[in-house]
Structure 1
Amino acid sequence: MEQIAGDGNATEPAAAAYTLSSADNVLRVLLMFKDSRVVRVTEVAARLGVARSTAHRLITTLCRRGLAVQEPGTRRYGPGPALTDLTYALMRDPAMDAVLHRQMVRLSAVLEETVSAQIFQGPDVLFTDGVEAERALKAGLRTGARLPAYAVSGGKAYLAELPREELVALYPDGFRPLTAHTVTRFDELERELVQVRERGFAVNLQGTETGLNAVGVAVHDRSGQVVAALAVSAPAHRLEGARIDEVAGALQDAARSVEQETS
């Protein structure tokens, strides 16, 4: 009986070791995103010391679960939506979310425009909440959407507080234009971020969608770190000139209220 039991369990340690090794390799691939925004199969194979076919299977598994995603037209892979959603879920502060939402409701009623909350995730921003204007002609909600931070007002408000070396590291391949008005050169973005720091707010003038303008401000936690952004978006003809300054002032007041209430 003892020998039969031993024979039946003989492969279990080896199977367990293989399972643990595979799980460890998957986790190591995920941790690679901490050092680089994108990875290639050859890089994964070299880092893990496995065959390229094994590395490809690991990345394919991550893509299937939404933890990684292949960049269109390339052989590079970056963090997937499920991974960024998990990061947000672990970092979010329900109390902060509630305060932000109250301010968005108030701002939308006062300004009669659509208001959104955004958080920064790597090179992008994630729209986490929003309150839509009641006007017939209005900006729609983008809750759940991701857009490049360099094109979005809230994203620019965040980027303005980063050191130059971090900014450069975020966009090693340059900028992808979303419209004819999207920033496409690094020096152009830097000049705009200087203005953001001087004025205390950022603008998106048809950079993500033709005919749509937006104004955004950063929201900080008690340590002074940016944790979110508040933004107002509207048809371009309604959000230009003096109206931008008016909206920016209302957003700055709202951001200060959020910071004071959550400090």
Structure 2
Amino acid sequence: MDLDHALRVAVEAAEAAGALLLDGVSGAGPRVRAKGGGGDVVTDLDMAAEKLILERLLTGFPGHRVIAEESGLAGAADGEWTWLVDPLDGTNNVAIGLPVYVVGLALCRDGAPVLGVVHEPVTGRTWSAVHGRGAVGPGGRRLSPPYRPTAHGPTVAWTQGHGVRRGDPVAGAVRNALGLRARRVLQLWAPLLAWAMLARGDIDGIVGYRAELVDLPGGLLLAQEAGMAVRGFDGTPFACDITLPDQERTFVACHPRRLDELLETVAG
């Protein structure tokens, strides 16, 4: 498997989908409809961007499996290579006219991420990572943010899966603890953007509770390759695998020197 070729295809697909999204958002705007019974939404732009990406991936890698946010499984029934596609991470933002969204792709081998791409259409920036080769941003700049002490607590992003119910006691307790100890808690409705911000050093950490599958591996790999640490709430190493059930996709991610602080916070 030529990962350099896979990266080129993924970046080109993400950027082409991003151009489609940007044109649709700035034009007549998306058509929005309800998705499921939990208040989530989907737009015609999600579907169009996903179709574009799927066509490129299935043409370029006919023996691979693809798990896409809207259409589910495509391509090979099984095998060692699986693509994850989030064609519009931040759909709820787009639906209310908030231009905070990205396109995300990840390639996993035997369930573990080996390649991740995040593209932000509004700014035209793309971030990517290949396992063991580091993370890069626009212009090929290597991402490796230093530890920065904060006098008034860290700025962290919170993300939770769609299946988390209102009133969930764990989610409530952790969010309350973050609110008390963090300088600011961001709820972006676009987890992949939060991962890019962590990899750049713009925020100090991410706390995820029962996170969604499709936008986790690529963003997590981006942050890890930029030098960030990821742990479960109990402090054990978090091994991202697409076979993990949602209740096990719970973690903190931050610079290694900030781990004790965040783990103490989520422990209550």
Give TM-score scaled by structure 1 length.
0.27
Q: Larger % of strand: which?
A: 2
Task: Name the structure, 1 or 2, with higher relative contact order (CA <8 Å, separation 6+).
Answer: 2
Give TM-score scaled by structure 2 length.
0.27
Structure of larger gyration radius:
1
Q: Larger % of helix: which?
A: 1
